[in-house]
Structure 1
Amino acid sequence: MTDAPPRTPPPETGPHLLLVDDARDIREPLARYLRGHGMRVTLAADAARARAAAEAGAIDLALVDVMMPGEDGLSLTRWLAGRGVPVILLTAMAEEADRILGLELGADDYVVKPFSPRELLARIRAVLRRAPPPAPTIPAGRRRFAGWTYDGAAREAAHDDGRRAALTSHEGRLLDVFLAHPREVLSRARLLDVTQGREAKPYDRAVDNAVARLRRKLEDDPARPRLLVTEWGGGYALAADVEDDA
């Protein structure tokens, strides 16, 4: 970390960040830098303290170290993403598969250690600019498709064979879009815009990751999807008819 904070730090009236890292020599200097750029920062040395901080007050974005003793950052990321908190992973893992796993668990972005605080600040601002979209209008009643009955208000799907799937808010928004446009190819850019209200970035695989999570919950064989199908060069489509559940 070589970038120095501004000489006259602005007041802490900006977004509220949760910084989770067990390394004090990273955690505290980085917090000073971010506070120097107008961010409010709550520190946590482990996942347990991070959970308590997230439950105690509204968090606009979390910075989460992957490798921590006890509960690791990936498990914490899944929990935070389920609560609708955007997450940027701080990771020393250079392997692509490890980074993709973090994104699939709900992270919005990642930076690889060692990193430039200036780059991290730019990524924080980019994620924060992705304002959440208005909640989609959920049709009255429930909808049926391919043996599933989906209750949008409860964000829960039930299959005729007894399977049940609880969806996160992001997964629910995505499924709502598919159900509103059955058998229509929806581009990644369109899905990203509708579900997250933001421009796609080259590193942003949020749509692919969310579709993968939906497949794991709804497909008989997620590795060979027949419900949420990929249209190469186009995007995704719901390959099923949709009807209101009387």
Structure 2
Amino acid sequence: MEWRKCYLDVILVPLVFLTSIGYHFWLWHKVRTQPHTTIIGINASGRRNWVNAMMKDNDKKNILAVQSLRNTIMGATLMATTSILLCSGLAAVISSTYSVKKPLNDAVYGAHGEFMVALKYVTLLTIFLFSFFCHSLSIRFINQVNILINTPQDPMSLVTPQYIKEILEKGFILNTVGNRLFYAGLPLLLWIFGPVLVFLCSLTMVPVLYNLDFVFTSGKGKVDANEINRDFV
């Protein structure tokens, strides 16, 4: 009898996790081997060129550099705030009384025993907490770049353009990871109401991410793959 209630959760939800993990492993492989076909690889090359341009003519472009980095920090701050607010809301639901959670449980199509409800909320809390953690680290690294990019160039200085590029890439990689965790958590929010909605939402999200992550060109304007490969070594 218990299996009849939870078989959808046992089958569909792990399938959603495997689909998302498999897509991102494949995306990581493409970024490493064919970066010129992905938005992530092309953007990484563009950021390295941007750092060179900002530091080469720092006297004229220092304000532009600070404003650009500030906009990135604001975006990461927004995502971090949203993630921690979702965590707070989930924690409030977990600690609520039975009368508050009963309408949610009655609307569930699938298992809604005590163990399954706890598993749902703990999974969501873990994902959004890791998303908050990644965005917080991203803000830390980009804040460092915000200061170091205006450092006067000196032959004996340890703050070189290459060092700043590496810190900036760490910040953007963490920002990307935090965003992907957030995107993975959104379909799982529907798990509160049953696994079928999670599965359908995940099937919709993967094609959307694919169209956002890859560049489809006819051969014009492609970035040199060897140059971008150096960004991820």
- Calculate the TM-score normalised by the size of structure 1: 0.24
Instruction: Choose between structure 1 and 2: higher strand proportion.
Output: 1
Could you say which structure has the higher helix fraction? Answer: 2
Instruction: For CA contacts below 8 A with separation 6 or more, give which structure has more relative contact order.
Output: 2
The higher radius of gyration belongs to: 2
TM-score when scaled to structure 2?
0.25
